Structure 1
Amino acid sequence: MALFASSINLHLSKISHSEFAPQPRPSPYDPPKLLPLPAVCSSQRAAANAFSRERNIVRASMNGLNAVGSSSLSDQGADYLPMPVVMIDQDSDSDATIVQLSFGDRLGALIDTMNALKDLGLDVAKGTVTTEGPVKQTKFYITRLDTGRKVEDPDMLERIRLTIINNLLKYHPESSQHLAMGEAFGIKAPEKKLDVDIATHIHVKEDGPKKSLLYIETADRPGLLVEIIKIIADVNIDVESAEIDTEGLVAKDKFHVSYRGAALNSSLSQVLVNCLRYYIRRPETDIDSY
């Protein structure tokens, strides 16, 4: 069952790329311990590090591969923190899962993030870095090491998402103020607390005769993607593809779904919405799931 694309866009204050700051202090957690992984292929090949650079050149320092340059005042002021965004896209490329990150212009070369993805049994085939206004966007094209194909397992997609957020908290600890996981593992918990009942919005729309578009917006938490996929499967609905976005404290996900090869009728759409709303609004997430 072909699955989806997730994305994470991360926006922050402007940082100079000509100088790199010393490596930030270690994260208060160890990503491998937080994200127990299944056994992966023993013969892992080195991830390709060839980056195409468009309008921006990124260099890594020897002392801190993910470190960034010394900060300068942004247009919003020295205390301004951009919104971190992570996006996972399964639709744009037929051969690879695309992961896009943004955090203002604070992201460095992200070599440690690439290595962390490799530790999941994945291959980063290529990457691109582009700058749009004050935001620098880094995009990875990811495939499985064992098959060379895109990632379709929802559990692995969630591991990818959490691994990237783990690294973001490690190398940019200030991002914890804008991330749900920052409350448990960051240097400063988010000041804004989302009420899951208020933050949750679920809609099903027509998307042609053979599929429907399911849109879910809710408070982010670890394991959310896997939980959503399980609930959809329990209603015997197929997920054909998706885009998974993490925008700060909010998860915004879009799924192309079908039932026995056809779009969902109004009755089945309402059943799906009711099930998702019930379970998402009553999280039973344990700290170990981080």
Structure 2
Amino acid sequence: MAVAMASCGCTLGVYTKLAAFEKQPISKTVSFGSSFGSDTLKHLCTSPKPRLSYSSSTMIPKASATAIEDGSYQETDVVPTPKVIIDQDSDPNATVVEITFGNRLGALLDTMNALKNLGLNVVKAKVQLDSSGKHNTFSITKSSTGRKVDDPELLEAIRLTIISNLLEYHPESSAQLAMGEAFGVEAPAQKLDVDIATRIRISDDGPDRSLLSVETADRPGLLVDLVKIVTDINVAVESGEFDTEGLLAKAKFHVNYKNKALIKPLQQVVANSLRYFLRRPTTEESSF
């Protein structure tokens, strides 16, 4: 799919809980999504989130002076759509995380420190600027094993850590992220209709596995819950990519049933189960 230094000093309540999460024992998994250890992340995603307290001068609802690549400032009335990609396929030895938010500066060192506080190492990092914005890419491994992250709870903690830092340093992005509803300074003005936003596709990806694609309204804990609902049907999740793009979450998972591609009836069972699950209105009702 798709990072231990000093604390970054984030004031978000969610970051405090994520730091506590790092100290909890994380179950070892043989393959991505194969087991779920503590219920710390479930508590993190279902408990009420304290709102950030920013003064009106800090909030940038529309036009603002924006820091760009060379450190100068420009006036802009367009807030780019934040994107966070967790990629498990590109590198066989590391989890690749990409953050895009136009050409705005982000507190990247702070983000790296926060990820490292989760027991992760940044083994490689690069910045690429193109017409779609500045892409900050990190290759990360678990410091305890030197291998890529295979626990969905830790992957979700990585995602929430990145988003919480984004909201800390770019509060103007809160209204564009589904996470703004959970712990941002300003909730999104429009809510996605889950039935309309949800798209599920399953296709063969060779004789030994299938490709499951899910697009739906984002919320905290979604990555963990998607993996859990699939594995509860005894379908194995090998690897994949999880994208957070504004209000939407887009997931691609390589899946198999007893080391074979999913047959049509089983594909229908998986799709129906996910649709039923995703229609549930709250995390508390949808998490088991």
| Alignment deviations for residues 225-270 of structure 1 (CA, whole Å, 9 cap, x no partner) | 1001110111000111111001001000001100001000000000
Amino acid at match of 1:204: I
Q: Report the structure, 1 or 2, having the larger helix content.
A: 2
- 8 Å Cα contact 1:40-1:121 kept in structure 2: no
Deviation (angstroms), 1:198: 1.3
Q: How many residues align?
A: 237
Task: State the alpha-carbon separation in 1 of the partners of residues 190 and 256 from structure 2.
Answer: 36
- 8 Å Cα contact 1:213-1:254 kept in structure 2: yes
Q: 2:79 aligns with which of 56, 81, 90?
A: 81
1:136-151 superposed matches below 5 A: 136-151=134-149
- 8 Å Cα contact 1:28-1:186 kept in structure 2: no
SS of 2:283's partner is coil
1:1-290 superposed matches below 5 A: 5-6=1-2, 27=11, 29-33=13-17, 36-39=20-23, 69=71, 71-73=73-75, 78-108=76-106, 110-286=108-284
Deviation (angstroms), 1:36: 4.5
Task: State the alpha-carbon separation in 2 of the partners of residues 223 and 254 from structure 1.
Answer: 16
Deviation (angstroms), 1:284: 3.1
Structure 1, unaligned runs of 5 or more: 7-24, 42-66
Task: State the alpha-carbon separation in 2 of the partners of residues 177 and 216 from structure 1.
Answer: 23
Task: State the alpha-carbon separation in 2 of the partners of residues 136 and 153 from structure 1.
Answer: 28
Amino acid at match of 1:159: A
Indicate how the Cα distance of structure 1 residues 228 and 35 shifts in structure 2: closer, same or farther if over 3 A, else same: farther
Q: Cα RMSD (Å) of the superposition?
A: 2.2
| Alignment deviations for residues 86-118 of structure 1 (CA, whole Å, 9 cap, x no partner) | 001111111110000000001335001001001
- 8 Å Cα contact 1:27-1:169 kept in structure 2: no
Query: What TM-score comes out, normalization by structure 2 length?
Result: 0.77
- 8 Å Cα contact 1:84-1:102 kept in structure 2: yes
Deviation (angstroms), 1:186: 2.0
Deviation (angstroms), 1:32: 2.1
Task: State the alpha-carbon separation in 2 of the partners of residues 138 and 231 from structure 1.
Answer: 31
- 8 Å Cα contact 2:106-2:170 kept in structure 1: no
Amino acid at match of 2:163: I
Task: State the alpha-carbon separation in 1 of the partners of residues 72 and 181 from structure 2.
Answer: 26
Query: What TM-score comes out, normalization by structure 1 length?
Result: 0.77
- Find runs of 4+ consecutive structure 1 residues off by over 3 angstroms: 25-30, 67-71
Map of 1:55 onto structure 2: none
Indicate how the Cα distance of structure 1 residues 167 and 227 shifts in structure 2: closer, same or farther if over 3 A, else same: same
Structure 2, unaligned runs of 5 or more: 3-8, 26-66
